[in-house]
Amino acid sequence: MRKILLVIFLTFAASFTPIAAKYVVNTISPLSLAFLRFGAATLMLLAVSYFLNVNLWIHKMDRMRFLVLGALVIPINQFCFLMGIKLSVASHSGVMYACTPLIVYLVSIKSGNETYNRSKLISISLTIAGIFIIFYENIFYPKQSGVNYLLGDLLLFLAVASWSVYLALSKDMVTKYGALKTQTLSFLIGIVMFIPVFLLDVKNLTFANSDVYTLLGYIHLTVVVAFGSYFLYSYSTKIIETSTLTTMTNMSPVITILFSWLLLNENLSYFFIIGATITMAGVFAAQKFGSGIPPSEKDKSKASG
């Protein structure tokens, strides 16, 4: 039951993140938004860590790993995600994030957390085929002021890549230090790295056009996702295999596409529908294959479940 509730919450959070982001970046500068949402989330994590008496000290040998995690989760990921969603559309972001299992799986194999499984790799690779179809359409999409689907989607794909690498690389730290400590330190390091970017962009920060949807979107991005979902995702990697977890929660792109059409009136072209369908087919097919986890790790997973 614990695993099911985790997946439901994470799916909900992931499904509406692109939609919330699209609302907010239309009224607030993307770079300033990144600092405001993760700055607030970092403060909340620090408060929880203080309340629970969490010692934030780490071994010297792990400091470089945390510097990398901090850079991945905020400066790199948030620049690519929020700038990408500004230039593209929410439905495209939902489909891009379906590529997460493939990247996580490849990084996890390289780091030794999972073993090679040809059938699973082939099925997940269908996601890439779907993405290429969407990219192909973007090359010929008519130019619009403030819109660049190709560049936006490329940035969104880089956001997916940075998020996926963060998930894979943070797994050992979560096991060693716990999800809360790992998340808090990663965010703290990342937000400090992002301060210069915010100071350069602060002149573009204005709330003049903000409304209730902007506020609701900010609350979703900050409290539900940056504070709650990121922490729970790190925690869930302790009890659910990482690539399996990302695959299970990839029902979210379907929900994102549906509500992007309903709430944002986004146009769903034939190319996009075909590309999204192929991507989702690969995602769902991957769930039918074995995890590729070594026997000893399977035993640990069962014990913690």
What does 172-216 look like in DSSP terms, one character per residue?
HHHHHH-HHHHHHHHHHHHHHHHHHHHHHHGGG---TT--HHHHH
Higher pLDDT among residues 301 and 227, named by residue: 227
- The whole-angstrom separation of Cα 100 and Cα 60 is 30
Tens digit of each residue's pLDDT (9 = 90 or more) over 255-289: 898 899 889 888 888 888 888 888 778 767 765 65
**Window from 90-99, 115-124, 273-282 with minimum mean pLDDT:** 115-124
Domain that holds residue 260: 2-304
- The whole-angstrom separation of Cα 123 and Cα 120 is 5
Confidence of residue 302 (pLDDT cuts 50, 70, 90): very low
- What domain count does the chain have? 1
Is 6 in contact with 240 (CB distance < 8 Å)? yes
Residue 297: name the closest of 235, 232, 234, 241 by CA. 241
Is 165 in contact with 108 (CB distance < 8 Å)? no
- Global pTM value: 0.80
Return the structure tokens found at 3.
Answer: 């695993």
Chain length of the chain:
305
Question: 201-210 burial, b if ≥16 CB within 10 A, otherwise e?
Answer: beeeeeeeee
Tens digit of each residue's pLDDT (9 = 90 or more) over 39-75: 999 999 999 999 999 999 999 999 999 999 999 999 9
Q: What is the mean pLDDT of residues 244-252?
A: 66
In terms of DSSP H, where are the helices of the chain?
A: 2-25, 30-51, 63-71, 77-87, 90-96, 100-111, 118-139, 149-177, 179-201, 212-219, 230-236, 242-248, 252-264, 270-286, 295-304
